[in-house]
Every structure is written in structure tokens, then in C-alpha cells.
Amino acid sequence: MKTSGTLNTTANLQDSDTVYEALINAHEGLSDKDSAKLNAKLILFLINHIGDKQVILEAIDKSNSQSA
Amino acid sequence: MSFEGIPVYKEKAYFKATKLDGAAAKHHPFVVVGSGPIGLAMALFMARKGHQVTIVTAFDFIPAGSKGICYSKEALDIFDDLGIGERIVEKGVIWNVGKVFWGDSSDPVYQFDMLPVKDQKNPGFVNIQQYYVEDYLVDALEAMENVQIRWGHKVSGIDVSENGSTLTITTRDGDYQMASDYVLACDGSKSTIRDLMGLDFEGRIFEDSFLIADVKFKQSRPSERWFWFDPPFNQGRTALLHKQPDDIWRLDFQLGWDVDRDAAIKPENMAPYIRGLLGEDIEYEEDWVSVYTFQCRRMANFVHGQVIFAGDAAHQVSPFGARGANSGLPDVQNLAWKLDLVLRGTAPKGLLASYDVERTQGADENILNSSRSTDFITPKSENSTVFRDAVLELAGEYEFARPLVNSGRLSAPTPYHHSPLSTPDRDEFAVGPKPGQVCVDAPICQNGEYGWLLDNLDDGFTLLHFGQNPPQTNLQILELSDAGLAGERYGAGTTYLVRPDKIVAARWANASENDVKQAHNRAISDAGA
């Protein structure tokens, strides 16, 4: 596992509108509980894929508006 | 049979205080307080090093109740140093594999191996009732002429000065005073000495309670640690199953906070849990039941002048991970060799400061791991529960999620990063234990005899050398061929300076006599300087 990277905060995704739409559609018709679980699984898949502790910790930090 | 509500495993003869006469006023270089596994191990270490040892304990019996049942490989290696390791392994139930189940599925979502490096003398874990461990330690102590166990002698006061303490001891024959240079407080989580001295014991309380039901039944099941999240017999909560000797099994059920303890241990209330786990048709008898809650906390410092704390008296964790006795034993192994050298005058008093540095680090690691496990087992918020359940759902299908399943990270030795006693590496190493880490075991062959590397290390410092031409040294030297498994694990041609607690103090690819001398001096130096 890499531990040394920094979080990429510049645009890095092609056809981002399609991806965003897929994200919203996935939650359609789900209860709050199921939505929360979907989000949790998605986060777990992605942090494993990223596999860089520093990047993930930085993203957690930046996502927490209270810490901004 | 019981004493003030504590069930008794084996009675011990009260030590008549009237026998002490003039000797009561005798000055002791050190006294061990407490007769749990940690106090007894501390006493046995010092006795084996040739010191006159006095233990005072409020009990005049070994308590019954299985209590701490899981002993780690590190603990077993320490018991080997004390000469009782093989007896414990022979009586105990060996296990290496842990399985985690979720819901009603009979397939584990995750499983782990507690002995990833094979070909070592001791297994990953042995389960054995705590009273057997205490009994074996007492047997070994009672066989020695230089040991006095004062059963039924309760510490009721302590007057601490710079160079020693005066203890007030209460017995059924009245009180007496006892002067001692060092006091080794191994008197458990409710430490009397800590309370009498008004010392801190801060940490985190977890709002949950658990039912231990140790039951006896005959059924063939594998010797593995089985842990359930949300099983049908304890929905929304957890359960744990462990095998012990004598057909006794540890069943542990999460109950939640705010439970009626007395009601929880009524046989009719426990039966649905036990039957749910074991099956309806199993005949069982109760051996020991208990409801527990826990805290994760430690004293800010374990060394207070010449009063030194070890084991549960100094630190406490949740039981998930078996980090209680398994961290108390390395405490006293660490403390004993340092105190031995200080009392002999071959090391400065300040060497004892390194006990504080190293073992508070050990306690922090245990508290960290234990708190993380508890947060997974008892999620503190809805969101935390969502993540926990997401991990469990994914773990069935996807390999990446399995290491996230946390039913207790079981006790492993703490590496002492940045220990003041360690000499940092000068040479490049691809393999082998680093300075501050415990030596890895390996099968060895010495003069045609097969044995184990750890068994062949000296009780003092050992210079461990692989290959030809070891450096000149006054220390005990263990020369091994670099062709075998041991050489593979440590590196061909290397030299390791190993402390009496089997921690690497320094290592070299090409050591000189002077390197060894300097590293040895550093390993017995004043750590408070």
C-alpha cells in the first residue's frame, strides 16, 4: 500500500455527468437506511481501490466541514 | 467454597504473622504485591535470578472461575522462561484459527491464523483456565527455597519516601509494618496501592455488558475461536465460543447496556442463549458465570519513584483481543531483568525508566487495538452500525473487506519503536527482527541436538551470530549456522544483541567487538538521563 500521495482536487473524471447521474439513480427508491448502506459500501470499495492511506485520510479530513 | 463471595479453586495455608517476630521489621530490597498471574510471574522471574522474594497477598487461596483463558504465543514463550510453559501447553487447548460468522450463515465471512510464521516451538494461542496458570506458578515458587508467599496478608497502608516504602500489612493476627526499597504493585485492576497513593487511572468507559457462561458438555467441535455478529440466538448483538480443557467451553454473549446482572445469570435466563448456540439437545452444566463491563485505561506512568506498577494495576483493556494477562506478562518480563541488574549494581537505577517508556507504549497499543475492536463490535452511532454491516455484507463475497472485520485483534508483541535502549540499524537488513522487536523462533540444530532458538537464548544478554567468525565478546554467545531456517529468518552472516526479554537491542551485518560493547552499554543505561 502506498502511504505518501496527496489528494487530487483537480478535475480528474471524464464524462462526469454520467457518473454523477448513476450515483443519484442508484439511490432512487431506497429507504434512508438502504441509501446509507449503499454509500458505505461505495466508500469501502473506493478507499480500497485508492489504497493510499495519506490520500484517504486527507479526503476524510476535507469532507468534514467542521474541520475546514 | 468461597471467600467474601469469591469462589475458591485451591486453599493455601495462611502465613501466620506471629511467625514473623523480629523478622517483620526486616528490610526488604523489594516486595511483590498480588498473587494473580502477573504478581506470581514477577516473583518467579526474580526468584529464578537468585533473589530472596517475598509476596504479600490478601488471598489465602487460588480463586476459581476460568477468568482469563487465552494465552498468546508471547505469553507461552515467557512461561517457557519461567519453566512452566510446557506444562501449560500440555494441559491447554491449542488453537491457531479464528472464524467470524454473520447472521445465520454457517460459512465464516472471515477467518484468521494466529501463527502466520510456522516452525516455531509454541502455537499461536493456548486456552487454559486462569487458576491452572496460577496453580503452576505457585507450584514453581513453592519449590524454591528463596521464596516466601505470605497468604492472607493484605496491604492496608503505604508510606512512600524517596528511597523506599513502609507498607502496613493487615492479617487475622493484627497489623504489622514492612519496609521495602521497591514495591512491585501487581495487585490487579482495583489496585489497593494505586488507590492508597491516590494515583490516576483515566480512560474510556464502554457502555455495554457481556455475559460469560462457562459450561461443561461433551461435543466434538474444532479448537478454534468462533465469533458471531448478529446470530439468530442473540439478534443484533454478538457471541463468542472458545474451548477450554476439561470439556469446558467459554460462551460469551453481548447483552447491551443497563442489564439486570442478577437476572442475567439466572439459569432460566441464560438457557435460551446457551441452547441457541449449542443446539436444543445438548446436556450441559454451568461451571462459572459472570457479567462484565469494561474500560480501556492506563496510569499515566507505571514507575512512581520506587513503587512500580504492572499488569491490570497499570492498564486495563476490553477482553476482545486477549490483551490482559498477555500484556501483563511482558510487563514483568521487562521489569524483572532491569530490576535484577539494578539490585546487583551492574546497571544504574535509571534503567527502570525504560520500563515505563516501553510498557506504556505497549499499553497504548493494546488500548488502541482493543478500543477499535470494541467500536466495531459495539458501534456507537447509527452511521457506525451502517459501516460495520456494510463491511460484513461485503466480506462474504469480496476479499478486500475481510481484513476490516474486527472481532478482536488478538494480542501480539509490541515492538518498542525508538526505545532508549535500542541501537538504530547502521546496516541494511532485508529480513529479521528489528531493534525493539522480539526475536522470532526457529528450529535449530546444535552439536547434533535439535531444539528451538528461543530456548537456547541465555537468561542474560545473548550475542546471536549466524555463520562463521563472531565478534569478540564477554557476553554469552549463540553461534548458529546460517544455512538453516533460523539463518533465513535472521539473515546470513548477521549478529544480533538480544536482551534478557528476547528483544533485539542491536543488529549488524558485520559487527565489531566495539559495536557490541557500545550497544550493550546503551541497553543497560540510564533511560531517564
Chain segment B204-237, per-residue pLDDT in tens = 888 889 999 999 998 888 999 999 999 999 999 9
Residue B60 lies in a domain: yes
Same domain, B465 and B347: no
Residue B133 lies in a domain: yes
Residue B496 lies in a domain: yes
Same domain, B349 and B447: no
Q: What is the pLDDT of residues B437-465, one digit of tens each?
A: 999 999 999 888 999 999 999 999 999 99
Which pLDDT band, with edges at 50, 70 and 90, does B1 fall under?
Answer: low
Interface test with B, best of A31, A47, A48 (most B CBs within 10 A): A48
Q: 10 Å Cβ neighbour count for B465?
A: 23
Same domain, B448 and B328: no
Domain that holds residue B175: 2-67+128-200+301-366
Q: Among A33, A36, A41, select the one facing B394 at the smallest CB separation.
A: A41
Tell me how far apart the terminal alpha carbons of chain B are, to the nearest angstrom: 52
Single out the residue in B346, B366, B386 at which a domain terminates: B366
Supply B478's cell numbers. 549463540
Single out the residue in B315, B333, B366 at which a domain terminates: B366
pLDDT of residue B380 exceeding 90, the answer is no
pLDDT of residue A67 exceeding 60, the answer is no
What per-residue confidence (pLDDT) applies to B23? 59
The pLDDT > 70 percentage for chain B reads: 98
What per-residue confidence (pLDDT) applies to B482? 86
Same domain, B350 and B472: no
Chain A residues with CB-CB distance to B391 below 8 A: 44
Residue B266 lies in a domain: no
Instruction: Please tell me which residue of chain B has the smallest CA distance to A51.
Output: B400
How close A61 comes to chain B (CA, Å)?
17
Give CA–CA dist B379/B32, Å, rounded: 40
Q: Among B232, B234, B279, which Cα is nearest to B252's? A: B234
Interface test with A, best of B109, B383, B384, B386 (most A CBs within 10 A): B386
Residue B308 lies in a domain: yes
Contact A41 B389 (CB under 8 A): no
Same domain, B472 and B326: no
How close A21 comes to chain B (CA, Å)?
23
Average pLDDT of the segment spanning B484-497:
95
Number of domains in chain B: 2
Give CA–CA dist B186/B30, Å, rounded: 13
Same domain, B345 and B474: no
What per-residue confidence (pLDDT) applies to B447? 83
Task: Report the mean per-residue pLDDT for chain B.
Answer: 94
Determine contact, residues B227/B319, Cβ cutoff 8 Å.
no
Single out the residue in B345, B366, B387 at which a domain terminates: B366
Chain A residues with CB-CB distance to B386 below 8 A: 33, 36-37, 40
Chain B residues with CB-CB distance to A36 below 8 A: 382-383, 386
Residue B63 lies in a domain: yes
Question: CATH number of the domain that B325 lies in?
Answer: 3.50.50.60
Same domain, B351 and B458: no
Question: CATH number of the domain that B517 lies in?
Answer: 3.40.30
Determine contact, residues B486/B477, Cβ cutoff 8 Å.
no
Classify A66 as helix, strand or coil.
helix
What per-residue confidence (pLDDT) applies to B166? 96
Interface test with B, best of A1, A34, A37 (most B CBs within 10 A): A37
Supply B385's cell numbers. 452500525
How close A60 comes to chain B (CA, Å)?
15
How many CB contacts within 8 angstroms connect chain A with chain B? 25
Same domain, B315 and B194: yes
Determine contact, residues B496/B475, Cβ cutoff 8 Å.
no
Q: What is the pLDDT of residues B267-320, one digit of tens each?
A: 999 999 999 999 888 899 999 999 998 889 999 999 999 999 999 999 999 888
User: Which position has the grid cell 535449530?
Assistant: B444
Determine contact, residues B322/B408, Cβ cutoff 8 Å.
yes
What per-residue confidence (pLDDT) applies to A3? 61
Residue B53 lies in a domain: yes
How close B259 comes to chain A (CA, Å)?
28
Residue B37 lies in a domain: yes
Query: Among B3-12, B101-110, B141-150, B398-407, which is the least confidently predicted range?
Result: B3-12
Instruction: Please tell me which residue of chain B has the smallest CA distance to A34.
Output: B386
Bridge partners (DSSP) listed for residue B497: B463, B506
> How far apart, in Å, are the Cα atoms of B423 and each of B56, B107, B144, B416, B514?
38, 48, 37, 12, 13
Beta-carbon contacts of residue A18 (< 8 Å; ≥ 6 apart): none
